[in-house]
Amino acid sequence: MSEEGAAGPGDESRSAQKRRAIVEAAVEVFLRNGYLGTSVDEIAAAASVSKQTVYKHFTDKERLFTEIVLGTIDQVGEPFYEGIDTLPETVNLERDLCELARRLIRIVMQPRLLRLRRLVIGEAGRFPDLGRAYFERGPGRTVESLAPMFGRLAERGLLTMADPLLAAQHFLYLAVSVPLYEATLSGDDEPFTPAELERFADEGVRVFLAAYSRQRPKRSRAKARGVSGPDSKPGHSS
Protein backbone atom coordinates (compact mmCIF):
# COMPACT_ATOMS: atom_id res chain seq x y z
CA MET A 1 0.00 0.00 0.00
CA SER A 2 1.17 3.49 -0.75
CA GLU A 3 2.23 5.68 2.12
CA GLU A 4 2.04 8.91 0.17
CA GLY A 5 -1.34 10.02 1.54
CA ALA A 6 -4.94 9.06 2.18
CA ALA A 7 -5.63 8.08 -1.42
CA GLY A 8 -4.25 4.57 -1.95
CA PRO A 9 -4.47 2.61 -5.20
CA GLY A 10 -7.94 1.34 -4.27
CA ASP A 11 -9.34 4.87 -3.87
CA GLU A 12 -7.53 6.06 -6.97
CA SER A 13 -9.11 3.33 -8.98
CA ARG A 14 -12.59 4.04 -7.59
CA SER A 15 -12.17 7.69 -8.48
CA ALA A 16 -10.97 6.79 -11.97
CA GLN A 17 -13.92 4.43 -12.38
CA LYS A 18 -16.35 7.20 -11.47
CA ARG A 19 -14.66 9.56 -13.84
CA ARG A 20 -14.97 7.04 -16.66
CA ALA A 21 -18.63 6.44 -15.83
CA ILE A 22 -19.30 10.19 -15.96
CA VAL A 23 -17.51 10.53 -19.31
CA GLU A 24 -19.40 7.64 -20.87
CA ALA A 25 -22.77 8.86 -19.57
CA ALA A 26 -22.05 12.43 -20.65
CA VAL A 27 -21.17 11.42 -24.23
CA GLU A 28 -24.49 9.59 -24.55
CA VAL A 29 -26.55 12.40 -23.03
CA PHE A 30 -24.84 15.19 -24.98
CA LEU A 31 -25.20 13.29 -28.25
CA ARG A 32 -28.87 12.59 -27.56
CA ASN A 33 -29.95 16.01 -26.29
CA GLY A 34 -27.37 18.48 -27.61
CA TYR A 35 -25.37 20.83 -25.41
CA LEU A 36 -28.16 23.18 -24.31
CA GLY A 37 -30.61 20.32 -23.81
CA THR A 38 -28.29 18.53 -21.38
CA SER A 39 -28.16 19.14 -17.62
CA VAL A 40 -25.49 18.03 -15.16
CA ASP A 41 -28.34 16.43 -13.12
CA GLU A 42 -29.13 14.16 -16.04
CA ILE A 43 -25.50 13.17 -16.55
CA ALA A 44 -25.08 12.44 -12.83
CA ALA A 45 -28.20 10.25 -12.88
CA ALA A 46 -27.06 8.39 -16.01
CA ALA A 47 -23.62 7.78 -14.42
CA SER A 48 -25.14 6.79 -11.05
CA VAL A 49 -23.07 9.38 -9.20
CA SER A 50 -24.01 12.55 -7.34
CA LYS A 51 -24.04 15.94 -9.01
CA GLN A 52 -21.27 16.95 -6.58
CA THR A 53 -19.09 14.13 -7.91
CA VAL A 54 -19.54 15.41 -11.46
CA TYR A 55 -18.54 18.93 -10.38
CA LYS A 56 -15.57 17.55 -8.40
CA HIS A 57 -14.20 15.91 -11.56
CA PHE A 58 -15.12 18.50 -14.19
CA THR A 59 -15.89 21.90 -12.57
CA ASP A 60 -18.88 22.66 -14.84
CA LYS A 61 -20.87 21.51 -17.87
CA GLU A 62 -18.71 23.42 -20.33
CA ARG A 63 -15.48 21.89 -18.99
CA LEU A 64 -17.03 18.42 -19.09
CA PHE A 65 -18.16 18.93 -22.69
CA THR A 66 -14.71 20.13 -23.73
CA GLU A 67 -12.91 17.23 -22.05
CA ILE A 68 -15.23 14.70 -23.65
CA VAL A 69 -14.83 16.10 -27.14
CA LEU A 70 -11.05 16.44 -27.01
CA GLY A 71 -10.62 13.12 -25.21
CA THR A 72 -12.64 11.36 -27.90
CA ILE A 73 -10.79 12.94 -30.79
CA ASP A 74 -7.40 12.06 -29.26
CA GLN A 75 -8.53 8.51 -28.61
CA VAL A 76 -10.05 7.74 -32.02
CA GLY A 77 -7.20 9.50 -33.84
CA GLU A 78 -4.44 7.47 -32.18
CA PRO A 79 -4.41 4.57 -34.74
CA PHE A 80 -3.65 7.04 -37.51
CA TYR A 81 -0.45 8.29 -35.91
CA GLU A 82 0.95 4.86 -35.03
CA GLY A 83 3.91 4.14 -37.25
CA ILE A 84 3.27 7.18 -39.45
CA ASP A 85 6.92 8.25 -39.04
CA THR A 86 8.12 5.24 -41.05
CA LEU A 87 6.34 6.55 -44.17
CA PRO A 88 9.46 8.31 -45.56
CA GLU A 89 11.26 4.92 -45.69
CA THR A 90 8.48 3.33 -47.76
CA VAL A 91 9.32 0.83 -50.48
CA ASN A 92 5.84 1.14 -52.01
CA LEU A 93 4.55 4.70 -51.71
CA GLU A 94 1.19 4.17 -53.42
CA ARG A 95 0.35 1.18 -51.26
CA ASP A 96 1.36 2.93 -48.04
CA LEU A 97 -0.54 6.12 -48.89
CA CYS A 98 -3.66 4.08 -49.69
CA GLU A 99 -3.28 2.35 -46.33
CA LEU A 100 -2.99 5.75 -44.58
CA ALA A 101 -5.97 7.16 -46.49
CA ARG A 102 -8.08 4.12 -45.60
CA ARG A 103 -7.12 4.51 -41.94
CA LEU A 104 -8.15 8.16 -42.04
CA ILE A 105 -11.49 7.47 -43.63
CA ARG A 106 -12.26 4.67 -41.17
CA ILE A 107 -11.55 7.01 -38.27
CA VAL A 108 -13.48 10.06 -39.42
CA MET A 109 -16.51 8.00 -40.50
CA GLN A 110 -17.04 6.36 -37.10
CA PRO A 111 -20.70 7.07 -36.23
CA ARG A 112 -19.87 8.30 -32.73
CA LEU A 113 -17.25 10.73 -34.05
CA LEU A 114 -19.61 11.92 -36.79
CA ARG A 115 -22.23 12.74 -34.21
CA LEU A 116 -19.74 14.49 -31.94
CA ARG A 117 -18.43 16.42 -34.92
CA ARG A 118 -21.92 17.66 -35.82
CA LEU A 119 -22.47 18.69 -32.21
CA VAL A 120 -19.19 20.64 -32.07
CA ILE A 121 -19.92 22.36 -35.40
CA GLY A 122 -23.42 23.26 -34.24
CA GLU A 123 -21.95 24.83 -31.09
CA ALA A 124 -18.92 26.44 -32.78
CA GLY A 125 -20.57 29.86 -32.65
CA ARG A 126 -21.13 29.54 -28.88
CA PHE A 127 -17.82 27.73 -28.17
CA PRO A 128 -15.27 28.92 -30.71
CA ASP A 129 -12.43 27.74 -28.43
CA LEU A 130 -13.75 24.19 -28.48
CA GLY A 131 -14.29 24.26 -32.25
CA ARG A 132 -10.78 25.61 -32.75
CA ALA A 133 -9.32 22.94 -30.41
CA TYR A 134 -11.25 20.22 -32.27
CA PHE A 135 -9.87 21.48 -35.56
CA GLU A 136 -6.30 21.64 -34.24
CA ARG A 137 -6.35 18.18 -32.64
CA GLY A 138 -8.20 16.58 -35.57
CA PRO A 139 -7.43 17.71 -39.14
CA GLY A 140 -4.80 20.20 -37.95
CA ARG A 141 -2.74 17.53 -36.20
CA THR A 142 -3.13 15.14 -39.14
CA VAL A 143 -1.82 17.69 -41.60
CA GLU A 144 1.05 18.77 -39.35
CA SER A 145 2.09 15.13 -38.89
CA LEU A 146 1.98 14.38 -42.60
CA ALA A 147 3.70 17.52 -43.90
CA PRO A 148 7.26 16.67 -42.66
CA MET A 149 6.83 13.08 -43.95
CA PHE A 150 5.94 14.44 -47.38
CA GLY A 151 8.90 16.80 -47.15
CA ARG A 152 11.24 13.81 -46.58
CA LEU A 153 9.60 11.89 -49.43
CA ALA A 154 10.35 14.91 -51.62
CA GLU A 155 14.01 14.79 -50.49
CA ARG A 156 14.09 11.13 -51.54
CA GLY A 157 12.76 12.18 -54.94
CA LEU A 158 9.49 10.28 -54.62
CA LEU A 159 7.27 13.33 -54.31
CA THR A 160 7.62 16.87 -55.58
CA MET A 161 6.02 19.91 -53.98
CA ALA A 162 6.56 23.57 -53.19
CA ASP A 163 4.48 23.53 -50.00
CA PRO A 164 4.41 20.32 -47.89
CA LEU A 165 1.64 21.67 -45.63
CA LEU A 166 -0.67 22.31 -48.58
CA ALA A 167 0.20 18.87 -49.99
CA ALA A 168 -0.78 17.33 -46.65
CA GLN A 169 -4.06 19.26 -46.67
CA HIS A 170 -4.78 18.02 -50.19
CA PHE A 171 -3.99 14.46 -49.13
CA LEU A 172 -6.30 14.60 -46.12
CA TYR A 173 -9.23 16.18 -47.91
CA LEU A 174 -8.86 14.01 -51.03
CA ALA A 175 -8.94 10.98 -48.75
CA VAL A 176 -12.00 11.84 -46.68
CA SER A 177 -14.11 14.63 -48.19
CA VAL A 178 -16.50 12.78 -50.50
CA PRO A 179 -18.09 10.63 -47.78
CA LEU A 180 -17.45 13.04 -44.89
CA TYR A 181 -19.29 16.04 -46.39
CA GLU A 182 -22.29 13.89 -47.18
CA ALA A 183 -22.41 12.20 -43.77
CA THR A 184 -21.86 15.44 -41.85
CA LEU A 185 -24.69 17.26 -43.60
CA SER A 186 -27.16 14.47 -44.16
CA GLY A 187 -27.20 13.25 -40.55
CA ASP A 188 -26.77 9.71 -41.87
CA ASP A 189 -24.24 7.92 -39.67
CA GLU A 190 -23.42 5.11 -42.09
CA PRO A 191 -24.14 6.31 -45.63
CA PHE A 192 -21.44 4.13 -47.25
CA THR A 193 -20.22 0.55 -47.05
CA PRO A 194 -16.63 -0.16 -45.96
CA ALA A 195 -15.83 -1.12 -49.57
CA GLU A 196 -17.15 2.21 -50.85
CA LEU A 197 -15.08 4.05 -48.24
CA GLU A 198 -11.94 2.21 -49.36
CA ARG A 199 -12.61 3.15 -52.96
CA PHE A 200 -12.95 6.83 -52.01
CA ALA A 201 -9.65 6.62 -50.12
CA ASP A 202 -7.83 4.91 -53.01
CA GLU A 203 -9.22 7.31 -55.63
CA GLY A 204 -8.15 10.23 -53.48
CA VAL A 205 -4.62 8.84 -53.35
CA ARG A 206 -4.63 8.37 -57.13
CA VAL A 207 -5.42 12.08 -57.60
CA PHE A 208 -2.87 13.07 -54.96
CA LEU A 209 -0.10 11.06 -56.63
CA ALA A 210 -0.95 12.45 -60.07
CA ALA A 211 -0.24 15.91 -58.69
CA TYR A 212 2.61 15.22 -56.28
CA SER A 213 4.56 12.17 -57.41
CA ARG A 214 7.62 12.66 -59.62
CA GLN A 215 6.17 10.26 -62.15
CA ARG A 216 2.47 9.83 -62.80
CA PRO A 217 1.49 6.49 -61.32
CA LYS A 218 1.00 4.28 -64.39
CA ARG A 219 0.64 0.79 -63.03
CA SER A 220 1.49 -0.99 -66.26
CA ARG A 221 4.52 1.15 -67.08
CA ALA A 222 5.85 0.80 -63.52
CA LYS A 223 5.47 -2.97 -63.74
CA ALA A 224 7.29 -3.13 -67.07
CA ARG A 225 10.06 -1.02 -65.60
CA GLY A 226 10.28 -3.31 -62.60
CA VAL A 227 10.84 -6.32 -64.87
CA SER A 228 13.30 -4.97 -67.41
CA GLY A 229 14.99 -2.22 -65.38
CA PRO A 230 15.01 1.46 -66.27
CA ASP A 231 18.00 1.32 -68.65
CA SER A 232 17.29 -1.84 -70.62
CA LYS A 233 15.50 -1.64 -73.96
CA PRO A 234 13.03 -4.12 -75.46
CA GLY A 235 14.87 -6.84 -77.37
CA HIS A 236 18.13 -6.27 -75.52
CA SER A 237 18.30 -9.53 -73.59
CA SER A 238 21.49 -11.04 -72.21
Residue 134, interface with a copy of itself (CB under 8 A)? yes
Stretch that binds a copy of itself, among 14-22, 112-120, 146-154, 227-235 (CB under 8 A): 112-120
Residue 115, interface with a copy of itself (CB under 8 A)? yes
Closer Cβ to a copy of itself, 67 or 203, answer by number: 203
Residue 128, interface with a copy of itself (CB under 8 A)? yes
Residue 118, interface with a copy of itself (CB under 8 A)? yes
How many degrees, rounded to 5, is the angle at CA 111 between CA 109 and CA 114?
70
Provide DSSP, 60-111.
SHHHHHHHHHHHHHHHHHHHHHTTGGGGGG-S-HHHHHHHHHHHHHHHHT-H
- C-alpha 69/C-alpha 27 separation (Å) is 8
Residue 170, interface with a copy of itself (CB under 8 A)? yes
H-run or E-run covering 118: helix 111-122
- C-alpha 141/C-alpha 77 separation (Å) is 9
Closer Cβ to a copy of itself, 120 or 153, answer by number: 120
Which of residues 77, 88, 164, 204 is near a copy of itself by CB under 8 A? 204
Closer Cβ to a copy of itself, 53 or 131, answer by number: 131
Residue 188, interface with a copy of itself (CB under 8 A)? yes
Provide DSSP, 127-195.
-HHHHHHHHIIIIIHHHHHHHHHHHHHHHTTSB--S-HHHHHHHHHHHHHHHHHHHHHHH--S--S-HH
Partners of 159 in beta bridges: 213
Report how many residues bind a copy of itself under the rule CB under 8 A.
44
> Which positions touch a copy of itself (CB under 8 A)?
31, 34, 36-37, 115, 118-125, 127-128, 131-132, 134-135, 138-139, 166, 169-170, 173-174, 177-178, 181-182, 184-188, 203-204, 206-208, 210-212, 216
